[in-house]
Structure 1
Amino acid sequence: MEKLMIYNEIHRLKSQGFSNSQIARKLRISRNRVIDYGKMTPEEFFEFASSLQNRSKKLDPYHETIVRWLKEHPDLSGAQVLDWLEERLNVKSVSENTVRNYVNDIRETYHIPKQLPERDFGAVPELPMGQQMQVDFGELKVPTTAGSFKKLYFIGFILSHSRFKYVEWLDRPFQTTDLIHIQENAFRHFGGMTQEIVYDQDRLLAVSENAGDIIMTAEFTKYQQTRKFKVYLCRKADPQSKGKIEQVIKYVKNNFAKNRVFDNLPDWQEACMKWLKRTGNYKVHHNTKKRPSEVHALEKQHLQKVFGSYLFEKIFGTSITRKVHKDNVIRFGGNRYSVPLGTYRKGSQNIVHVQSDGQHLTVRLHPNGAVIARHVLSKEDGLIITDPSHRERSRSKRDQLIKQIEEMVPEKETIGWLIKQLAERYPRHLIDQLKIVQAAILTYPAFIEEALDEMKRLKLNSANDLRDIAISLEIQNRKKLKKTGIENEKYKNLAAPERKEDIYIRVLQGGSAQ
């Protein structure tokens, strides 16, 4: 009886335009169940319900145990129940989908709703006029006049004090140039610029945030330095930092875009601007109890004026960055595209630059560097696009190390000489020697070429010699700087290996550190 009520309620809500996710939240059931019930005709559902009553289930022997677990832990998911069955009762050969459906039936029968963890929030003090603007991205699929669906992307802006909003749409994923263009449009719409702008940690802006030190993309860094606004990057799902703009994104999706049919981008954008004037910025805000358009008239006087036009074409190209994942793929346009094995390196930033002409995707390690991957763009979603050559281990680990070291040192002849010496003297331990060379190059880049010249002059042929000479040269340089009264901060905490200093002197005089 209860399943029939849920079935009828699902179809009633669908007829009113609710999405599967909204229905699942309303009825507190899984989205998959909403989809399954929504596809069934009444006849199919009655046949399905009858079959449930007349058949035994794989998990019936564990029924009481699962009920007890759910009563003790109402927030248990089907995946967790499956894991507990395998761990505690050694249950095998049962699928996660079977467990999830069984758990849903138990919740209905015993009235055990799933309890989601709640987060405690505190009210954020209102910010003064002109201090902050928040920015975030949204996307959704909308029906078209052609009878299909199209994915649209938008950026929302809001002045934190007045709640005055601006929204702009695209029919493709955003690039850094798009963000900057649209932000300039937002400045014109608002009549000025705030002191601070709050963003999500999006790859269009930032490569990474290392313990609070923001590493922004080159394109956005140049723009930010030109306009001189303060950037604040917040963590994902952080309503304390950007709750205002998150509400705007939901407002645009559920009020403007919901049940609207797309024909072309200019008409859609024009309709959105009219909606902002009519509703988004005119309706009384539920927190401030004021109309954003009226408060904006006062806040506008406190915004910083933006002079001139930003010259995009003189600053950067059209490449965007993507992160390289551990399995040597990058994500672009809803798919994953391969890059050569070894592109991902543990401990590195693992950022590549990509360009798309609408037909092909080109990947480089540097904006103007050599192409490391080129793919035909897929029109489908959820695929892994692989170049077979990227998965061939064409080089051994030794060869890869040699290639990396050669790329790190401009003087090819000298580094080639050292690699040849190491290969002849340490054939069984060449990889270990190459790792020491690579570490020395990374640690002492300013002294490595001089150290190589000294090694060649003294006829030394060990990676440890290279490292020791580089350390000695850096120590001598530090002493020289101290004598001249120029103390460089980066040498203050320099720690050499546990060898006496006379070893380095002997090395430079022609002796061996071995």
Structure 2
Amino acid sequence: MLKLEVIVEVHQLKRQGFKVAAIARKCKLSRTTVYEYLEKDFEEAYRWVDDLKTRKRKLDPFEDQILGWLKEHPDLSASQISDWLEERCSFTDIGDSTVRTYVRELREKYHIPKTVTFRSYEAIEELPKGKQMQVDFGELKIRTFEGKWIKIYVIAFVLSHSRYKYAEWQDRPFTTRDVLRSHENAFEYYGGRTDEIVYDQDKLMTVSENGGDIIYTEEFQAYKQQRGFSVYLCKAADPETKGKIENVVKFIKRNFAKNRVYHQLETWNEQCLAWLDRKGNYQVHNTIKKRPIEVFALEKPHLREVSSLLSFESNHGTSITRTVHKDNIIKFQSNRYSLPLGTYKPQGDNTVYIRIDKEELIIEKNPGGKLLATHPLSRRKGQLIKNSDHSRDKSKGIQAYMETIKASFDDQKKIQIFLEEVEKRYPRYMRDQLQILSRAVKNFEPFTESALEICIKQTLWSTNDFHDVVRHLARIQDQESIIPSTDIPIVEMSSTYYKEKALVRELDGYLKILGGV
């Protein structure tokens, strides 16, 4: 009855002379809701509240699912539940505020409290388009699909104006080269770079602050000069300077990564990029009250263009590594690129090196070493880029199998006709068909020619039919070969036995037994 009490309170405050705006503040309602409540009298409000108890809500079909998530992970946010509903249940027809209300009511109903922590920040004026990007790191312990716990590491980027985000994960701590590679991937993701990049005091980029004359690591100094951006290094105990990226790291860890099951790094990064498209960059930002993806469309023309992708790698003698999967492919930027059959070694080293040359992806066994494959670089996602030379010619094995079976027949012309017709009808199951034919030839060899003649004459174009026919011919032959033996004695029976009759009991005997009259 809490809602009915609120309606009564709204009417009482109105009668006391309070304005709608004051009532809205006092009751923590929107003015639209206050107007709606004022239009209802007590009886109408009572019926309306009573109807609310029995009405069906959009999230009711998912109540058990959401309740299970909350019981397993009491710290889940409503925003993360909204994302899980979209990702795992393909349910998108609902607003974030509705999910928040529903989750809050479930927590109250089933007594699942949530501990909320707050942190104070100082407001900072918004920066112009293309001015600044912020970068920071994070780490998190997560559970794998095997039930084990591992620690993974993330580097996150955010454009200060549009709040457009990018993130990249590793299953080991970042090195300076990892950081530079991630920068290149971020620049490609954004389509350019900002004038300034904000960092924390991290040993991967800086050696010493030195009273304002910052000393960078050798590799980062060379990369900074090549790319031409300026660096803003945060001072100690100054979280407000890079508060945007700190919120982003927290958002990624809590909304995307927390309570998610880890399978492998490539899949994890693909899921993260999909989450950025679906939630991280699409959801309305609480500060700017706009979708980052829409603001980014206006900011992108103000970004500085960068030179060819990963040019720093050739300058510093480093390369990106990838792991060859058992189906002889590597994954790069959410696409799969083929390698020659046999590249994957079950017990060997499956690390290869990739580099970009103009619009081609070059895969090498070692940097500058043996060339394994060259592919056109795809700008799409989820594609399989495959070289026809890397495919196995499966028809060779089938043809060899067919030739082996044909050698078992005398009439080569007829067996060729039969096999061609079978292949027309069962192209996907030709190997299975040949195995059936091989067993038939092995078990019923004397009858295969006759069976072949019958199958062609009756247009039975299946090796199962051939097997039935050849087995039938063998069974007939076996029956004809059975001759009654003369050694078995013949017993002559007297006709008197056939004249004997069984004794018949009178009906009275049965009636006495059953208690009849």
Give yes or no for TM over 0.5: no
Give the number of the structure whose alpha-carbon radius of gyration is greater.
2
TM-score (norm 2): 0.39
Please give the TM-score of this superposition, normalised by the length of structure 1.
0.39
